[in-house]
Structure formats: structure tokens, C-alpha cells
Amino acid sequence: MAGAIYVTRNTVFAATAGAKTVLKLITPTSFKIEIMELALFTDGVTASAVPATWDLFTSTETTAGTQNGTAVTTQIKGQVQAHGLTVGQNFSAEGTTYTISKSGFIPQFMGSLILPNPLGTEEESPSDAADSIGLRINVTANVNVLAWLKWARA
């Protein structure tokens, strides 16, 4: 039987100027995860705004940051299995030890990004401790942000 696949999403939030972690998935020491697909959507109000940047990152959780609420995780495939992660969303204070694995631009005005990772090339969370993998956006204006990560145990 196929392994369990999950989607973790944030509650839409208003990001203000600067870098904000949208989603963070903290793994236990007993397993790591791989990101199969990520999505990021923005709905800023100024069509002339410069694009925002986004980062997919891993972190040692040395300084974790401050989350606002708990992201929602839904199992979408496979035999029922508790996901076993600590998940955070919409951070008001950033952590300090991020290693960027993938980055790009997204328009702040009606931006839309869905990025699948080809089979065998998925980013994985670190496996040496209770570390995290997450998604961060850096905006220059007030922008509403919605995001999700599709993932499975590695």
C-alpha cells in the first residue's frame, strides 16, 4: 500500500514588509519528511509592486521564532497514519538559522505559484535532530498570503 501523503496549509494572513515564515514543519528525531509540492498565493492590491521573494528552507531550530496559530494538516492519500509533526504558521518573529534550498520570485499582486518536485528530487528535512523545513516570503507591501506544502515521510 502507498505511504501516507499529507498537505499542510496556513490560514490566510496579512504579511507586512519584510521576511515572514508562512509554514514550518518540525520533524521528530525518529523520521524525516520530503516535500513533494509547494504552493504560494498572494493578493496584494498594487499591480505595480515589485515581486516578492520566497524561500524553501531547513532550520536547526536553534532559534525557532514565534508562530501565530497552528497550521492545518490533512492526510490526502494512503493508509491512515498520524502525521507526527509539530506545525507552525504565520510567524511574527523569525528564527535565525535557515538554510535556503530553493528560492524564487512571485508577484505581490495576484501572485500564484505551484511547484511540484519531480520524483526522486524532493527536498528533505534534516535527519540528525528535531529540525524543520519551511516556506518563507519576503514582501515589500502589505500582502495576503496563502500557502501549502504537500509532503510524505522520507
Contact 38/148 with Cβ under 8 angstroms?
Answer: yes
How much is the pLDDT for 2? 56
Q: Which three cell numbers stand for residue 61?
A: 531550530
Q: Which three cell numbers stand for residue 41?
A: 498565493
Q: Is the entire prediction scored with pTM above 0.75?
A: yes
Half-sphere exposure (Cβ direction) of 128: Cα atoms closer than 13 Å: 4
How much is the pLDDT for 89? 94
Whether pLDDT at 1 is above 70: no
- pLDDT band with cut points at 50, 70 and 90 for residue 147: very high
- pLDDT band with cut points at 50, 70 and 90 for residue 30: confident
How much is the pLDDT for 77? 95
How much is the pLDDT for 21? 94
How much is the pLDDT for 70? 87
Mean pLDDT, the chain, integer: 90
Contact 72/9 with Cβ under 8 angstroms?
Answer: yes
Q: Which three cell numbers stand for residue 64?
A: 525557532
How much is the pLDDT for 118? 85
Q: Render pLDDT for 97-106 as a digit per residue (tens, 0 to 9).
A: 889 999 999 9
Q: Render pLDDT for 38-90 as a digit per residue (tens, 0 to 9).
A: 999 999 888 888 999 999 999 888 788 888 988 999 999 999 999 999 999 99
Mean pLDDT confidence for 18-46:
91
- pLDDT band with cut points at 50, 70 and 90 for residue 125: confident
How much is the pLDDT for 110? 92
Show the beta-strand stretches assigned E in 10-131.
13-15, 18-26, 33-42, 52-59, 72-77, 86-89, 98-106, 112-116, 123-124
Contact 20/139 with Cβ under 8 angstroms?
Answer: yes
